[in-house]
Chains A and B, each alone.
Chain A
């Protein structure tokens, strides 16, 4: 029962990932790609947390935390860049 719920959640997150990937590829503007990228990272963090639960390894959560930190910085830097160059 619980395993089923976890795999259902993973499937839903995977479907969300694919939908956002479409927006990332379709664009059309750089800003659309950046917000799609941001959402992709957030979904990935959910995925990493799910992987941590399935594998039973708390160390994966540190990966998720660092990933969150880097994606935040990445989006800020790209937005700064777009602000001057679009």
Chain B
């Protein structure tokens, strides 16, 4: 039984790190800071969740602590990227020319 869970956990683990790698790729390919934050937050959040879940499947007695780390990341990751995105916008970060509309700049003035 545990042998099956080990294999399953290993597969979940690898799928999680694949998402981490995709996020890293996105961070390098995206043209401006806002798109980079998007790529950086989402994929790493799911990637970490899957990694922790995979380890949890291999070590069921650790699952409480892994769950705690996962929940913590789930709540803090989006918060820090929100704060960073706002800071970047207020600091007048360059937006890619493909950007079609910016309602935030319309309402608050555009420092860039």
In this assembly, does B105 line the interface, its C-beta being within 8 Å of a C-beta of chain A?
A: no
Min CB–CB distance B44 → chain A (angstroms): 4
* Residue pair B37, A35 in contact (C-beta under 8 Å): yes
Q: B18 to chain A: which residues have CB within 8 Å?
A: 12
What sequence of 0s and 1s flags, for each residue 51-84 of chain A, a beta carbon within 8 Å of any chain B beta carbon? 0110000100110110011001001100110110
Min CB–CB distance A58 → chain B (angstroms): 6
Main secondary structure of the interface of A (DSSP, over half): helix
Given A38-B84, A61-B62, A76-B80: A19 touches B51 (CB 8 Å cut-off): no
Which residues of A come within 8 Å of B, CB atoms? 1-2, 4-6, 8-10, 12-13, 15-17, 19-20, 22-23, 29, 31-32, 34-36, 38-39, 42-43, 45-46, 49-50, 52-53, 58, 61-62, 64-65, 68-69, 72, 75-76, 79-80, 82-83, 86
Which residues of B come within 8 Å of A, CB atoms? 6-7, 9-11, 13-14, 16-18, 20-21, 23-25, 27-28, 33, 36-37, 40, 44-45, 47-48, 51-52, 54-55, 58-59, 61-62, 65-66, 68-69, 72-73, 76-77, 79-81, 83-84, 86-88, 90-94
